[in-house]
Chains A and B, each alone.
Chain A
Amino acid sequence: DIQVTQSPSSVSASVGDRVTITCRASEGISNWLAWYQQKAGKAPELLIYAASTLHSGVPSRFSGTGSGTDFTLTISSLQPEDVATYFCQQGNDFPWTFGQGTRVEIK
């Protein structure tokens, strides 16, 4: 299985701050990485696919970069509604695997 290691496990930042979350795959996955946002008690929602393509309706303060093994999700200006847990997921090979998640909170 391809392991996906996500860091940090949690981050606390102020409104307006830049927040960066990273995912590292145990082997190259091209750009087949997706990012999801999961708010408390809800299902995950797709934010970014193919490492850097913003899903329809997702605010432009979210962005994704990377290819191969190293990927980054950036929130350029943290907003109160961004409080959630964020997951990355590789779709390059079965079984599809997820990162452990990053909880984002407002300081």
Chain B
Amino acid sequence: QVQLQESGPGLVKPSQSLSLTCTVSGDSISSGDHYWSWIRQHPGKGLEWIGYVKYSGATHYNPSLTSRASISVDRSKNQLSLMLTSVTAADTAVYYCARASLNVDDYGAGSLVFWGQGSLVTVSS
């Protein structure tokens, strides 16, 4: 069974950078078949897709993050990472990593089949 596990600091100061890691088990990021995504959920609110990384390192981001987001992959550790710079209180959220298939015949386009349990990040001084 595919499992994803987020980890990182739960508290970040304003203007600093938020850094999270997602460790994948039960699948290899190097298999090349998936979009490895980050999604966030503000407290009591809806879901916002942040972006994805493929095994090749290719990325795509939500323009709403105004170039503050960076997603990378470490194939040797089977991990993906998220960095978000210049954070403010508005970046306080639960951050999830998730996997979607590149092949629409598997689960359709963009369906996030496997999710981590989420990591709450609070931005506060």
- A residues engaging B (CB < 8 A)? 1, 31-32, 34, 36, 42-46, 49-51, 53, 55, 87, 89-92, 94-101
Contact = CB atoms under 8 A, between A and B. Distances in A.
B49 A96 contact: yes
A92 B49 contact: no
A96 B112 CA distance: 10
Interface in B87-113: 96, 100, 104, 107-113
A95 B112 contact: no
Contacts of A51: 108
B116 A43 contact: yes
Interface of B: 37, 46-49, 51, 60-64, 96, 100, 104, 107-113, 115-118
Contacts, number: 74
Highest count of chain B CB atoms <10 Å: which of A43, A55, A100: A43
Nearest to B97: A43
Contact of B118 (A43, A45, A95): A43
A98 B47 CA distance: 6
A37 to B, nearest CB: 11
Nearest to A98: B47
A50 B64 contact: no
Contact of B112 (A50, A53, A89, A100): A89
14 contacts: A34-B110, A43-B96, A44-B115, A49-B113, A50-B109, A50-B111, A51-B108, A89-B111, A92-B109, A95-B61, A95-B62, A95-B63, A96-B49, A98-B49
